[in-house]
Structure 1
Amino acid sequence: MRVGELAARTGVSVRSLRYYEQQHLLTSERSPSGQRHYSESAIGQVRLIQQLYAAGLSSKKIAEFMPCVVDGRATPALLERLAEERTQVEQRITDLVEVRGRLDAVITAATDNMLTGASCRRETST
């Protein structure tokens, strides 16, 4: 199918499909006249790419995962890698909650020791 048909069938813009190719997330064959042609499995690949973007993954990370997609479908290897990614996200969340707790403690201590009427200016370097 041509790029316009793939765009229509997936709800993704032609521009996005071209970007996916530039990022090595999607491949096409070229006709003798230079037109892009995609296999039927490209529909599943595009939908998966969209889901991974919606999950917050970067194009670089998605490109690492795409070899684990066969005929537009996830393989067990992809599911394993996604589970690893989820574990890393959970660790970042834990770390951020800890940082937030430390900031709350600093804010509380600073509030208890606050000077009234004092002003604070941010110094900027030029």
Structure 2
Amino acid sequence: MKIGELSRRTGVPVRLLRYYEAQGLLTSHRSEGGHRHYDPEAPVTVGRIRTLLAAGLPTKVIRELMPCFADDGTRLQACVLDHLRAQYAELDSRIASLTQARTALGDILEASTRALTHA
């Protein structure tokens, strides 16, 4: 299928499909005229990419994970689970940091608002 059809079938803009290809996440074959053609399983591949991006994984990590899908393609092989657990722990750490920053900002806003109302 051509890139326009893949875009229509997946709802992903052509520009992003080209980006995925440039990042090594998606492959195409070029026709003699230079047009991209994708294999029939490309929509499934794009779905996997979108799922992993939505999980907050960077494209570098996704590139490493793409060959590791098992069974029907909805699960990853056990050999990459430690990597996913590390990513999960990193997200927890970032959430904790953001929560602390939010609390600190809230304290500043509250103190500033109180000072203005008592002035």
Listed as ranges, the matches of 1:33-112 within 5 Å are 33-57=33-57, 61-70=58-67, 73=73, 75-76=76-77, 77-110=79-112
Q: Is the Cα contact below 8 Å between 2:25 and 2:63 reproduced in 1?
A: yes
**In structure 1, how many angstroms separate the alpha carbons of the residues matched to 2:46 and 2:63?**
11
Equivalence for 1:124: none
Question: How far does the alpha carbon of each residue in 1:6-50 deviate from its partner, in whole angstroms, 9 at most, with x for none?
Answer: 223222222321222223321211122212121223212111222
**In structure 1, how many angstroms separate the alpha carbons of the residues matched to 2:65 and 2:14?**
24
**In structure 2, how many angstroms separate the alpha carbons of the residues matched to 1:9 and 1:83?**
32
Question: Per the alignment, in what secondary structure is the counterpart of residue 27 of structure 1?
Answer: coil
The alignment's TM-score, normalised by the length of structure 1, stands at 0.66
**In structure 2, how many angstroms separate the alpha carbons of the residues matched to 1:98 and 1:25?**
35
The alignment's TM-score, normalised by the length of structure 2, stands at 0.69
Q: For structure 2, list consecutive stretches of 5 or more residues without a partner in the other structure.
A: none
RMSD: 2.8
The change in CA–CA distance for 1:90 and 1:54 in structure 2 (over 3 A counts) is same
1:107 positional shift: 4.4
The change in CA–CA distance for 1:71 and 1:55 in structure 2 (over 3 A counts) is closer
**In structure 2, how many angstroms separate the alpha carbons of the residues matched to 1:71 and 1:85?**
16
The change in CA–CA distance for 1:102 and 1:39 in structure 2 (over 3 A counts) is same
**In structure 2, how many angstroms separate the alpha carbons of the residues matched to 1:55 and 1:96?**
17
Q: For structure 1, list consecutive stretches of 5 or more residues without a partner in the other structure.
A: 117-126
Q: Work out the number of aligned pairs and report it.
A: 113
Percent sequence identity over matched residues?
A: 38
Query: Based on CA coordinates, which of the two structures has the bigger radius of gyration?
Result: 1
Say which is worse superposed, 33-42 or 100-109, in terms of deviation.
100-109
Q: Is the Cα contact below 8 Å between 1:3 and 1:38 reproduced in 2?
A: yes
Q: Is the Cα contact below 8 Å between 2:7 and 2:14 reproduced in 1?
A: yes
Say which is worse superposed, 77-86 or 90-99, in terms of deviation.
77-86
Equivalence for 2:32: 32
**Higher helix proportion, which one?**
2
